[in-house]
Amino acid sequence: MPLLDSALNSQQREEDLASLKREEFDLVVIGGGVTGAGIALDGASRGLKVALIEAGDLASGTSSRSSKLIHGGLRYLEQYDFKLVKEALREREMMVTTLAPHLVKPVSFLFPLTEKFRERTYVGAGLALYDLLRGFKRALPWHKHLDQKKVAKVAPSLQSDIITGGIQYFDAQVDDARHTMLIARTAKRYGARIATYTEVTDLIREGKRVIGVKVRPEGGRAFDVKAKVTILAGGVWTSPLYKRFGLKPGYEVRMSKGAHIVVPGDAISSESGIIIKTPLSVLFIIPWFGKWIVGTTDTEYKDDPGSPVASKADVDYILTQANRVLTPRLKLSDVIGVYAGLRPLISSAPDSPTTKLSREHIVDRPVPGFVSIAGGKYTTYRVMAEDAVDVASAELRRIVPDSSTAQLPLLGADGYVALTNKVPLLAKEYGISEESIRHLLDRYGSEIATLLELTRDRPELKKKIDPKLEYLKVEVLYAVEFEGARTLMDIVDRRTRIAFESEDHGLAIVKDLVEIVAKPLGWNATEKKSQIEQFKAHVKNERIALITS
C-alpha cells in the first residue's frame, strides 16, 4: 500500500473529521493511548479502513505517566507469571533492535544486596531466569554479580555499611508519550484517520449489533461515524464508558495509582539505575536525561480517572523507601517534579490488593460489532493490539491478513543507525552542536531531516528553549505542525517533558512557547492568555504534594 503523509496537525484533523462523516470504516478505535494507537496501526497495516478517536490528546492518560520502562516485570516472576514476563521480554528485544531503536534505549539496573549468601542466591536465580526467558537472540547483556567494592564504585550513593554486594542487569526505557504519538503517526502513515479532542458520546445500534459511534469534536457539531466493528481501548475509562454505552463488561477494571518523583542528577551518585524490593512491591531509581525518576507506588484509586495526582503520602513513601539504601538521604526539597498515573488492572476478586492483580490483558465481545480490551502492560501494547484486531476481524466476514507489526518499524526508525554515524556532518551542515543533533536523533530518528529543514529559514529555532534543558525551539513548532499538539499542555507535558524536568515546570518559558505556536494554531491574544492560565492551574494541581506550608 502507498505510504501517506504521517503529519498530525490542525489541517489533518479537519480532513480526517470530514472523512469520519462521509465514510464507513472497518474499525473505529476509541482511545488514543498506547493500546488504542497500537490497534490503529495493527489494523491499518493489515489493509483495514481504520479511524482512531480520542477525547483529549494522544497519550494524555496513563500512556504519558508510566515509569518510562520497557521491561519484562522482574517482580512478576515471584507471582509465577512466566508467560507475561516472557512475552514482555520478547517485545522489549524487538523494540530495542527493530521497531523503535531511536526511542527505546537499554538501561542498566543494580539490585543491591544486604546479605552475603542467601539473598544473592535467591535474587541471582531470579535474574538468571529473567535472562533465560528472553531467548537466545539477546540485544541486552546478561546480568552480572558485583562484590561490595565494585558496587561502591558503580553506585557511591548506596550505603556501604549495609550493602554487601549487588547484581546488575539490563532493561530498557522510553519516553512513553513520544512513543505513543509515533505509533499513532505510523498508523496515519498506513492510512488510519485520527481525530483527537473528539469525544465518543454513544454507540450506534442496529438491533443488538453496534454499527458505529456518535462523536462530538471539540469546537464542532456532533455526528455519526459508521463502522463494522468498534474497539474500545479506554484504559481506566473502560468501566465509565461501558456504563455510558449501556453495556455489561465481562470483567472489572480497577485503577491502581503509580506516583513518581523527579530529582536532580547530582542528588544521587550512580552509573546505573537502582531497583530495591519494598514491603509491597519494588522501587526503581531510574536515570532520566541528567535527572532521576524515582517510583513507583501501587495503591488502589477510586476517584476521577481524569485527574490523578501524587499525594503527600505518596511522596513520603517514595522518599522513605529510597532512603533505606541511599546516602545522603533524599529530602522533600530535592524534588523538582512529581507525577502520577493510573494502571487499568483486570480483577475478578474485588477485595484483592492491586499489587497482587495480574498485568495480563483480556479481550471482551459483549455484543456483536463491539470489542474491548483492558489490562496489560505498556511493554506488551503490540500484542494487545494484535489480539484485539484478531477478535474484531472475525466479524468482518472476509479474509484479513495476519498482523505484520512485529516487523514494522515505527516512524523514524528507518535509517536511524546510519544517521548516528553522521552526527558530526549534520552538526556542521546545520550549525547545531553535536550534542543537540544526538538529542534530536534520539527523539525523532530519521524524522530529524524535517526539523533541520525548518531551521534553514528560521535560524532562531536552533536555540534551546531553556538553557538547562536540551529541547530546541524547533521542536515546539514541529510539535504543532507534525505531531498533533493543540494546547500548551500538550507541548509541555507530552511532546516535551518540561513539565517535570524543569525546576519551575516551564512556567518561566511558557510565554515564549506560546509565541512560537500561536500562528499555526490560530491563537489570538485572548486564547494565548487562556492557555497560559490553564497551564499554571495544571502545574499548581500537580504540585499539591510538594507544598510544605
State what percent of residues in the chain have pLDDT above 90: 81
> pLDDT of 440-463, one tens digit each?
999 999 999 999 999 998 999 999
Question: Residue 122 has what pLDDT?
Answer: 80
CA–CA separation, 111 vs 69, rounded Å? 16
Q: What is the mean pLDDT of the chain?
A: 93
Burial level of 427, CB count in 10 A (0-12/13-18/19+)? middle
CA–CA separation, 75 vs 199, rounded Å? 37
Is the pLDDT confidence value at 352 over 50? no
Question: Residue 543 has what pLDDT?
Answer: 85
- Cα angle: 405, vertex 496, 293; to 5 degrees: 90
Question: Residue 137 has what pLDDT?
Answer: 66
Question: Residue 136 has what pLDDT?
Answer: 64
> pLDDT of 297-316, one tens digit each?
999 999 889 889 999 999 99
- Rg (Cα) of the chain, in Å, rounded? 23
Question: Residue 106 has what pLDDT?
Answer: 95
Question: Residue 127 has what pLDDT?
Answer: 85
Q: pTM higher than 0.75, yes or no?
A: yes
Q: Find the mean pLDDT for residues 350-376.
A: 76
CA–CA separation, 30 vs 199, rounded Å? 9
Question: Residue 215 has what pLDDT?
Answer: 98
> pLDDT of 390-401, one tens digit each?
999 999 989 999
Minimum mean pLDDT range among 190-204, 335-349, 365-379:
335-349
Q: Are strands 223-232 and 299-301 parallel, antiparallel or unpaired?
A: unpaired
- Name the nearest CA neighbour of 221 among 199, 194, 236: 199
Question: Residue 514 has what pLDDT?
Answer: 97
Question: Residue 392 has what pLDDT?
Answer: 97
- Name the nearest CA neighbour of 168 among 107, 80, 237: 107
DSSP 8-class letter at 160: T
State what percent of residues in the chain have pLDDT above 70: 96
| Domains defined for the chain, CATH in brackets | 10-63+177-251+357-407 (3.50.50.60), 98-173+257-344 (3.30.9.10), 416-546 (1.10.8.870)
Question: Residue 354 has what pLDDT?
Answer: 43
Q: Are strands 273-277 and 105-113 parallel, antiparallel or unpaired?
A: parallel
Is the pLDDT confidence value at 355 over 60? no
Question: Residue 502 has what pLDDT?
Answer: 94
Is the pLDDT confidence value at 80 over 70? no
Q: Are strands 282-288 and 273-277 parallel, antiparallel or unpaired?
A: antiparallel
The pLDDT confidence band at residue 349, using thresholds 50, 70 and 90, is very low
- Strand ranges in 368-481 using DSSP code E only, listed in sequence order: 370-375
Q: Which residues contact 532 (CB under 8 A, 6 or more apart)?
A: 488, 510, 511, 514
> pLDDT of 280-300, one tens digit each?
888 999 999 999 999 999 999
How far is residue 81 from each of residues 76, 84, 358, 402, 535, measured CA to CA in Å? 6, 6, 8, 27, 41
> pLDDT of 400-438, one tens digit each?
999 999 999 999 999 999 999 999 999 999 999 999 999
> pLDDT of 159-209, one tens digit each?
999 999 999 999 999 999 999 999 999 999 999 999 999 999 999 999 999
Question: Residue 210 has what pLDDT?
Answer: 98
Question: Residue 117 has what pLDDT?
Answer: 78
Q: Find the mean pLDDT for residues 39-44.
A: 98
Is the pLDDT confidence value at 517 over 80? yes
Report whether 521 contacts 10 (CB < 8 A): yes
Burial level of 485, CB count in 10 A (0-12/13-18/19+)? buried
Axis crossing angle, helix 473-481 with helix 510-521, rounded to the nearest 10: 30
Grouping H, G, I as helix, E, B as strand and the rest as coil, residue 456 is coil
- Do you find a cis peptide bond into 180, omega within 30 degrees of 0? no
CB-hemisphere CA count at 13 Å for 425?
A: 6
Grouping H, G, I as helix, E, B as strand and the rest as coil, residue 295 is strand
CA–CA separation, 146 vs 271, rounded Å? 14
Report whether 239 contacts 364 (CB < 8 A): no
Axis crossing angle, helix 34-45 with helix 176-189, rounded to the nearest 10: 20
Place of cell 500537580: 542
Q: How far is CA 283 from the centre of its chain?
A: 19
Is the pLDDT confidence value at 549 over 90? no
Burial per residue of 271-296, b for 16 or more beta-carbon CB atoms within 10 angstroms, e otherwise:
ebbbbbbbeeebbbbbbbeebbbbbb
CA–CA separation, 518 vs 109, rounded Å? 42
> pLDDT of 92-147, one tens digit each?
999 999 999 999 999 999 999 998 778 888 888 888 887 887 766 678 889 999 99
